[in-house]
Amino acid sequence: MKNPLQASWSWRVFRHAVLFTGAMIYLLPFVWMLSTSFKPADEIFRQGFHLLPQKWAAIENYTQALTQVPLLRYLANGVIVCGGILILQILVSLPAAYCFAKLEFRGKRMAWGLVLLSLMIPFQATAIPLYILLHHAGLLDTTAALIIPFIASAFGIFLMRQFFMGVPNDLIHAARLDGMGEFELVWRVLMPAAMPALIAFSIFSVVWHWNDYFWPLLVINSMDLATPPLGTMFFKNEESGTNYGPLMAGTVIITLPLLLFFLSAQKRFIEGVTLSGVKG
């Protein structure tokens, strides 16, 4: 008869082996990107597998990444765009989520159905109408064109609504008895309570819009307004083609803020996703 402890130990080893293998598969492109950023041009396409370069060119690649294009400006543009989108999304999502979670009003079921329906529509399907709208408004090739289409986030409303469904009604009634209005209740009572879910949504929002290449490519023509992913286009040289060493170095620099942001908020992110589970 098989020992239960041995069976449990074997299952743990197998489970961790599968998880480790999956993690390595996902991390391999990033490891290769980091390795390429250390290599000179003649080693990048050399036959054979060499994770570490035979001749280090890290200083040259990273220096060229910071000087060949205004990479720091692109990073600043990314911070402005992602920060502006996130702030406006929070201003819209929190009151809307509170209304769907705790208030009763005519047409609530239909309005909530429209929010869920919008989650199923890919952004690319609405890109052309939005582009035409911004063209008529004279907002193309501006920072506003990068921010305005994302002010209302159906995912943000959904995530915060799921969290608010778990907030006791007694807390809301007590705040109303203290004389708080609905907006004051949202910002002074519910927002601090929903901080884990808010941080989880912030990570989703920042990662999505920091890495967005499709929409900036459509609406931005000026090099000075380029976001980090769009800025990587300018590493291409008409004479020598794409310079992959500095390109990978620039990509590492672009990815680093997201990594640090996630690691600093990892605990709250897990709490927010866990506490915002589906509720009726």
pLDDT of 55 strictly over 70: yes
pLDDT of 232 strictly over 90: no
Residue 149, amino acid = P
The token pair at 203 is 């990570």
What is the Rg, in whole angstroms, of the alpha carbon atoms belonging to the chain?
Answer: 24
Residues 36, 214 contacting (CB under 8 angstroms): no
Q: Is 278 exposed, middle or buried (0-12, 13-18, 19+ CB in 10 A)?
A: exposed
pLDDT tens-digit profile of 132-143?
999 999 999 999
pLDDT of 276 strictly over 60: no
CA distance 230 to 145: 15
Confidence (pLDDT) at 278: 45
Confidence (pLDDT) at 91: 94
pLDDT tens-digit profile of 193-215?
888 888 889 988 998 999 999 99
CA distance 141 to 125: 21
Confidence (pLDDT) at 272: 57
Confidence (pLDDT) at 271: 62
Buried b / exposed e along 196-208 (16+ C-beta atoms within 10 A): bbbbbbbbbbbee
pLDDT tens-digit profile of 118-130?
988 888 889 999 9
Confidence (pLDDT) at 239: 45
Residues 6+ apart with CB under 8 A from 207: 258, 262
CA distance 143 to 234: 19
pLDDT of 87 strictly over 90: yes
Confidence (pLDDT) at 39: 87
pLDDT of 177 strictly over 80: yes
Confidence (pLDDT) at 154: 93
Confidence (pLDDT) at 270: 64
pLDDT band at residue 240 using 50, 70 and 90 as cut-offs: very low
Q: In Å, what is the CA distance from 3 to each residue of 12, 15, 16, 127?
A: 14, 18, 20, 60
Query: Number of C-alpha atoms within 13 angstroms, CB side, residue 148?
Result: 16
pTM for this structure? 0.83
Q: Residue 52, SS3?
A: coil
Q: Residue 42, SS3?
A: helix
**DSSP string for 199-264:** HHHHHHHHHHHHS--HHHHHH---GGG--HHHHGGGGEETTTEE-HHHHHHHHHHHHHHHHHHHHH
Confidence (pLDDT) at 237: 56
Pairing of strands 236-237, 241-242: antiparallel
Query: Alpha helices, DSSP H only, in 45-177?
Result: 58-68, 71-102, 108-119, 123-137, 143-147, 154-164, 169-177
